[in-house]
Chains A and B, each alone.
Chain A
Amino acid sequence: DGGITQSPKYLFRKEGQNVTLSCEQNLNHDAMYWYRQDPGQGLRLIYYSQIVNDFQKGDIAEGYSVSREKKESFPLTVTSAQKNPTAFYLCASSRGTRETQYFGPGTRLLVL
């Protein structure tokens, strides 16, 4: 987990609310990723960014949005359009998209 921080550790969302998950890395990595983890389903890619001011949709981008204004930061917003947001969200980074990915400690999102 070293070098990548995620906050908060737990996050509660009310109906119709947008919430933002933070991911920061001090590894000087160019690429950053957001994954969603559900029990028994492994990790699914939401969005990824290869470089500042650029990002691409992953396999399950609907209901999510991201920004990459700084190299070290890649926040994820879970919008009200995401009807089943309860999951464990993991951020990762790598030197390039072909390099080893290193993961943060995760944020667990729960719906009130």
Chain B
Amino acid sequence: AQSVAQPEDQVNVAEGNPLTVKCTYSVSGNPYLFWYVQYPNRGLQFLLKYITGDNLVKGSYGFEAEFNKSQTSFHLKKPSALVSDSALYFCAVRDVGSQGNLIFGKGTKLSVKP
């Protein structure tokens, strides 16, 4: 069975500092991995995805994520946080080889303070 975990309900970062939002996953085969961001009372916006290839994936708004197969992780990172990055972040996974749907984590609230 597929699953995804976001171990932190909330992450607090000072503006200008690097940020990391953690995600670990479990699939039986190879994973498709996604990060989405949600601002209050809005839909989810796609940030980036990993399908295959380079383990470091670059996405929108300066975000990037590193796929680590041995640790089954796909952590979201940004070198310098902005106050406007404050939002709810969701990691999602599906098994490449299955017809299964996307499984979403419970979300991590990122708070960036000035």
Contacts and interface: CB of A to CB of B under 8 A. Distances in A.
B84 interface: no
Interface string A94-112: 0001101111111010000
Contact of B104 (A40, A42, A105): A42
A41 B49 contact: no
B49 to A, nearest CB: 6
A43 interface: yes
Given A42-B90, A42-B107, A102-B46, A97 B101 contact: yes
Contact of A97 (B9, B49, B99, B107): B99
A58 interface: yes
B102 interface: yes
B1 to A, nearest CB: 12
Contacts of B36: 103
A78 interface: no
A1 interface: yes
Contact of B43 (A40, A42, A48, A105): A105
Interface in A12-33: 33
A38 B32 CA distance: 24
A100 B42 contact: no
Interface of A: 1, 4, 6, 33, 40-43, 45, 48, 58, 88, 90, 92, 97-98, 100-106, 108
Given A1-B45, A40-B9, A43-B44, 16 more contacts: A42-B104, A42-B106, A43-B90, A90-B43, A97-B99, A98-B32, A98-B94, A100-B49, A101-B46, A101-B102, A103-B36, A103-B44, A103-B45, A104-B43, A106-B42, A106-B43
Interface of B: 9, 32, 34, 36, 41-46, 49, 90, 94, 99, 101-102, 104-107
8 contacts: A1-B42, A1-B45, A40-B9, A97-B99, A105-B42, A106-B42, A106-B43, A108-B41
Q: Which 4 A-B pairs have the closest CB atoms?
A: A103-B43, A42-B106, A103-B44, A43-B104
